[in-house]
Structure 1
């Protein structure tokens, strides 16, 4: 697994979302690396990380991350990366000093008792389109992430450029990532995790609804929740300085 470390200070692990790679953090990295030693993870089959069958099996993925990354780090995970980071905090508590979930849902797809997530029929349609046309599906996903942002064209441009910088993700890695989003349910992990946790949501996110707030508060009353107004699924691209401030306020609490 490819991990690039930049900057000086306390250890901060950054885990990207589905279909992207660690360069997506560039706007935020310029700010955070002034104060933190940032460890940029490329998930299996993404960016510069190779793909092997089974790499997204949770126990295998977490073991590889635990081996490669420092103890007592702050973990910042975006979307799918937020779920990965939450699972790390649960299964490897010595690794995670504080946890920041950015535009992430402990259970990504709706269930009868978890309506604050993506409708299963929408998810299934999206999954089917990946098998038919990967490139078109990735572009559609970029549009979804930009939707609701105060400057959607800027977000589309930056995400498209970041995706083009590396080889496209491995098709099996993309499929495995979608299976994780469909099947992972880390609500119990959020309920029982012992480290301080921050959830950053975006008001206009079309993938992670802001209605999530009332449900996660019931699971974890100590959770710090910040909602960024006027932004979509990638707030750290639209407003990196504002995002940095929200993150660092939590870290320095």
Structure 2
């Protein structure tokens, strides 16, 4: 069973973190900005934070078992569902398979496909994920530090925030190797572009203008993929808008869901 923390009071809002993170990445922000408005449920993905590893080898098994574990961890009744980065891909998968449980979808610094492919240049090169896979078994701690720093690229004046963030992340227990590997497999393979039009719940894509991993230009495809979706772009934010622009990020979520 996945680890879930609950904070605050109000309508349900469930949050799913990204790769190489855990609930600690946004707990302080949630307490300050969201808990006064929502009952916030923070779910840790398999092999991250205090959630156990889920044994699965094939892409389909990893996807099915991660999705089932997250659905099991959802609060009773309906919830708004927010996913950041990898968590955003998982959130889309959860909604498509358990739509009756989800009232709103919020994709934070995420998209329907993370990796570039023919006809979709709005992501990271496949080689980056392949390099990460190799680096995992060579020096996991060094790779994680590199990734934590990468998320701040493009954010003006972020050096102080980046140093603080990296020091904070290094001070916590590292994710499990299996969780990291499975997460990379899902980042490489999940693709919901052709299923976005099946989503009937109100949807908000909340993006950083300077995000080095999720180029904001992908939203130009929404006119075809999901014309009813809303988009908010946070000026000067990179891949961690809830850390660099905490009030603006929270306000967009509150205005969308309340």
TM norm structure 1: 0.94
Q: Which residue of 1 aligns with 2:46?
A: 44
Displacement of 1:162 in angstroms is 4.0
Displacement of 1:158 in angstroms is 4.0
Q: CA RMSD in A?
A: 1.6
Does the Cα contact within 8 Å between 2:206 and 2:233 map onto a contact in 1?
yes
Displacement of 1:28 in angstroms is 2.4
Q: Which residue of 1 aligns with 2:180?
A: 174
Q: Which residue of 2 aligns with 1:64?
A: 69
Q: Which residue of 2 aligns with 1:160?
A: 166
Deviations 1:114-136 (A, max 9, x none): 11111122332233222221111
Does the Cα contact within 8 Å between 2:104 and 2:201 map onto a contact in 1?
yes
Instruction: Provide the C-alpha distance between the structure 1 equivalents of 2:102 and 2:165, rounded to a whole number of angstroms.
Output: 28
Which segment is superposed worse, 241-250 or 57-66? 57-66
Q: Which residue of 2 aligns with 1:12?
A: 13
Structure 2: give runs of 5+ residues left out of the alignment.
Answer: none
Aligned partner (choices 212, 221, 224) of residue 218 of structure 1: 224
User: SS of 2:151's equivalent?
Assistant: helix
Instruction: Provide the C-alpha distance between the structure 2 equivalents of 1:155 and 1:76, rounded to a whole number of angstroms.
Output: 23
Q: Which residue of 1 aligns with 2:107?
A: 101
Distance 1:41 1:161, change over 3 A: farther
Instruction: Provide the C-alpha distance between the structure 1 equivalents of 2:195 and 2:117, rounded to a whole number of angstroms.
Output: 17
Displacement of 1:217 in angstroms is 3.1
Q: Which residue of 1 aligns with 2:140?
A: 134
Runs of 4 or more above 6 Å deviation: none
Deviations 1:73-113 (A, max 9, x none): 00111000001111111110011100000000211111112
Instruction: Provide the C-alpha distance between the structure 2 equivalents of 1:158 and 1:197, rounded to a whole number of angstroms.
Output: 32
Does the Cα contact within 8 Å between 2:124 and 2:214 map onto a contact in 1?
yes
1:22 paired with 2:28, answer: no
Does the Cα contact within 8 Å between 1:51 and 1:173 map onto a contact in 2?
yes
Displacement of 1:170 in angstroms is 0.3
Instruction: Provide the C-alpha distance between the structure 2 equivalents of 1:161 and 1:188, rounded to a whole number of angstroms.
Output: 39
TM norm structure 2: 0.92
